[in-house]
Amino acid sequence: MSATLRLCVLCLMLLVARGHQGDGAEKLEGQQSSAANSSAGVPLLTAANREFAFRLYRSLAAQPDSRGKNVFFSPLSVSVALAALAVGARGETHQQLFRGLGLSNTSLSQAQVDQAFQSLFEQTRRTSSQVTREGTAVFVDHLFKAQPGFLHTLKQSYFADGFAVDFSKSSESTDTINKYVKEKTSGKIDKLVKDLDPSTVMYLISYIYFKGKWESPFDPDLTQEDVFTVDEETKVPVQMMNLERRFETYHDQTVNTSVLRLPFNSSHSMLLLLPEHMAQLEQALSPAHISKWLKWMKSRTFNVYVPKFSIKTSASLKDVLTEMGMADMFGDRADLTGISEGGRLSVSEVVHQATLDVDEAGATAAAATGIGITLFSFHHVPVLKFDRPFMVIITEHSTESILFLGKITNPKI
Q: Name 193's Cβ contacts closer than 8 Å, sequence gap at least 6.
A: 8, 174, 177, 178, 181, 203
> In this structure, is residue 21 part of a structural domain?
no
CATH number at residue 391: 2.30.39.10
More confident residue, 168 or 326: 326
Task: Specify whether the CB–CB gap between 323 and 330 falls below 8 A.
Answer: no
Within 10 Å of residue 254's Cβ, how many Cβ atoms?
A: 9
d(CA 401, CA 48): 10
Answer yes or no: do 267 and 326 share one domain: no
- What's the Rg (C-alpha) of the chain? 21
Answer yes or no: do 159 and 264 share one domain: no
Task: Specify whether the CB–CB gap between 128 and 266 falls below 8 A.
Answer: yes
3-class secondary structure, 29: coil
**pLDDT reading at 29 higher than 60:** no
Torsion of CA 142, 148, 154, 156, to 10 degrees: 130
> In this structure, is residue 371 part of a structural domain?
no
> In this structure, is residue 353 part of a structural domain?
yes
More confident residue, 1 or 403: 403
Q: Name 305's Cβ contacts closer than 8 Å, sequence gap at least 6.
A: 226, 240, 241, 242, 383, 384, 385, 386, 387
> In this structure, is residue 259 part of a structural domain?
yes
Answer yes or no: do 320 and 404 share one domain: no
pLDDT single digits (tens) 69-120: 999 998 998 999 999 999 999 999 999 999 999 999 898 999 999 999 999 9
What pTM did the predictor assign? Answer: 0.86
- Full domain range(s) for residue 335: 40-212+311-357
List Cα–Cα distances, 327 to 79, 161, 213, 334, 350, in angstroms. 16, 27, 40, 9, 12
**pLDDT reading at 362 higher than 90:** no
Answer yes or no: do 99 and 150 share one domain: yes
- Looking at residue 365, its pLDDT comes to 37
